[in-house]
Amino acid sequence: MSPKMQNTVRLTLSYVAIAIACVIILYPVLWIIGSSFNPGDSLSGSSIIPKDATLEHYKSLFNTAESDYLLWYWNTLKICIITMVLAVAMISCMAYAFSRYRFVGRKNGLMTFLILQMIPNFAALIAIYVLAYVTGLLDTHFALILVYAGGLLPMNTWLAKGYFDTIPKELDESARIDGAGHFRIFWQIILPLAKPILAVVALFSFITPFTDFILAQVILRSEDKFTLAVGLYKMISDQFGNEFTTFAAGSVLIAIPISILFLSLQRFFISGLTAGGTKG
């Protein structure tokens, strides 16, 4: 087989693999979107392109007399934004410390983080519930924020620390010669160059509370404090809950803030890489 034929075969196989992956990923998403416009409450007759499309399910979600969806949405956004800000602040400081300083317990701390990130969150559900109950934080958003932010630390600290290690230390030394202190070096030199990894950490920190169900189900008890995951589950799990098409509509709307955040952070990926190439 000639080299040209080999390249053609490889290219064809690559496109076939990409097409299969796109079908596997996009079909469930398109089916949910189509189901959200499907009339009635059942998903049995749903299709990607509904015959009699309707917006009634979306209208019912925004009708406060029929649903608490907007309240659940606000609760989820509040938890996600606070978790994201808190996690990014802690992770950036911890990653900088582990990357730039040598102190007693540094290696043990990194090893502890490595072990902790291997333990799934649901393995500590009982302990989390007991701690929330003892501290009086059960059925509060603050408890969820603490658990989410703490759970994000191990893996993301490792990721950010690895990225900080790639930033030349000569920049720190040059800044110290010019009279810059530790905080100024961290704020004005390291953070601007670390925008790509901080954007990744921010995105992960925002998505995790948005898509979590197990922890929120364990901690939250009052319906006015539910997150979207718990609220939508209750919508179809009650004795007479059969609003599956409304559930599909609510699921579609969940993707909006995540998509907006991802598109907004793209410029930080590019600007961070450009800054790194310019100053390095």
Q: pLDDT: is 275 or 90 the higher one?
A: 90
Summarised one tens digit per residue, pLDDT across range 221-259 is: 898 899 999 988 888 876 455 678 888 888 888 888 988
**Selection from 13, 39, 145, 152 nearest residue 91 by Cα:** 152
Summarised one tens digit per residue, pLDDT across range 53-81 is: 788 888 888 888 778 899 999 999 999 99
User: Angle, to 10 degrees, between the axis of helix 141-166 and the axis of helix 69-100?
Assistant: 40
Q: Distances from the Cα of 37 to the Cαs of 49, 50, 72, 159, in angstroms?
A: 9, 7, 21, 41
Residue 260, both tokens: 């907006």
Question: CATH 1.10.3720.10 in the chain, residues?
Answer: 60-279
User: What is the distance in angstroms between the CA of the first residue and the CA of the last residue of the chain?
Assistant: 46
d(CA 274, CA 280): 10
Contact 248, 42 (CB under 8 A): no
- pLDDT at position 155: 87
- pLDDT at position 270: 63
d(CA 207, CA 80): 7
Give the model's confidence band at 274: pLDDT under 50 very low, under 70 low, under 90 confident, else very high. Answer: very low
CATH number for the region 60-279 comes to 1.10.3720.10
* C-alpha neighbours within 13 Å on the C-beta side of residue 62: 6
In this structure, the chain runs to a length of: 280
In percent, the amount of the chain with pLDDT more than 90 equals: 28
Would residue 46 be called left, alpha or beta, if left means φ above 0 and alpha means ψ between -120 and 50 degrees? beta
Contact 276, 167 (CB under 8 A): yes
Whether the model clears a pTM of 0.95, i.e. scores above it, the answer is no
Q: pLDDT: is 214 or 239 the higher one?
A: 214
- pLDDT at position 123: 78
Dmax over Cα atoms in the chain, in whole Å?
Answer: 72
